[in-house]
Amino acid sequence: MHLLPHWARQRIKDSKVRELSLRIAPPHDGLAHFDYGPAVRTGTRIRWEALEDFIDFCEADEELHEILETANLDRSGFKDLYMYLASLGLNQWMDDHFITLSTLAYPESLVYALQARRLRIEPAEVRTNLLRYWTKVAAQGRDPDAARVIPRRRPLAQFHARH
């Protein structure tokens, strides 16, 4: 049982996602995308540690934890999903959201990203759908899980059972 109302929990979550996003990919630094190899460039270790904190945060979120568990996605798989989204050109800021990380931090967009990758949906379609989704979130200042512009294919549990 939650002691705080949904809107308060959502504000806390939004704030934490933004804080971690700023640590991982500060706007206008030209290093929005970074390697997972040894920390040889200045700032890479800080970003790596922030990404680890971000994964810890996502794993601790009840809704996300359930999705990650259902999809059988471990930390390595989570990082691979991050790299997949980054490869689509989604490492960019839109309003208060760094799209790649925000996609992973909210249930609806996370489920879509998992389905898109496993179903091998055309990368351009995935990119377009996620950019449209985050554009709508930014324009309306809404809860990301209420934006409802991502096409629904089928529930994750059904999807996972078939693969």
Q: Locate 91 and state its tokens.
A: 């490492």
The domain tally of the chain equals 1
pLDDT number for residue 5: 78
pLDDT number for residue 155: 42
pLDDT number for residue 66: 95
Give the 3-state secondary structure of residue 13.
Answer: helix
pTM of the predicted model as reported, rounded to 2 decimal places: 0.78
In a domain, 88, yes or no: yes
In a domain, 158, yes or no: yes
In a domain, 1, yes or no: no
Q: Locate 73 and state its tokens.
A: 């996605």
In a domain, 46, yes or no: yes
Give the 3-state secondary structure of residue 94.
Answer: strand
94 φ, ψ to 5°? -135, 110
Alpha helices in 3-118 (DSSP H): 6-24, 44-60, 62-70, 75-87, 99-105, 107-118
**What pLDDT digit, counting tens, does each position of 63-86 carry?**
999 999 999 999 999 999 999 999
Domain that holds residue 58: 6-162
Biggest CA pair distance of the chain:
45
In a domain, 52, yes or no: yes
CB 89 within 8 A of CB 112: no
pLDDT number for residue 26: 81
In a domain, 91, yes or no: yes
In a domain, 15, yes or no: yes
pLDDT number for residue 139: 76
Low-confidence ranges of the chain (pLDDT < 50): 31-42, 147, 149, 153-163
pLDDT number for residue 143: 58
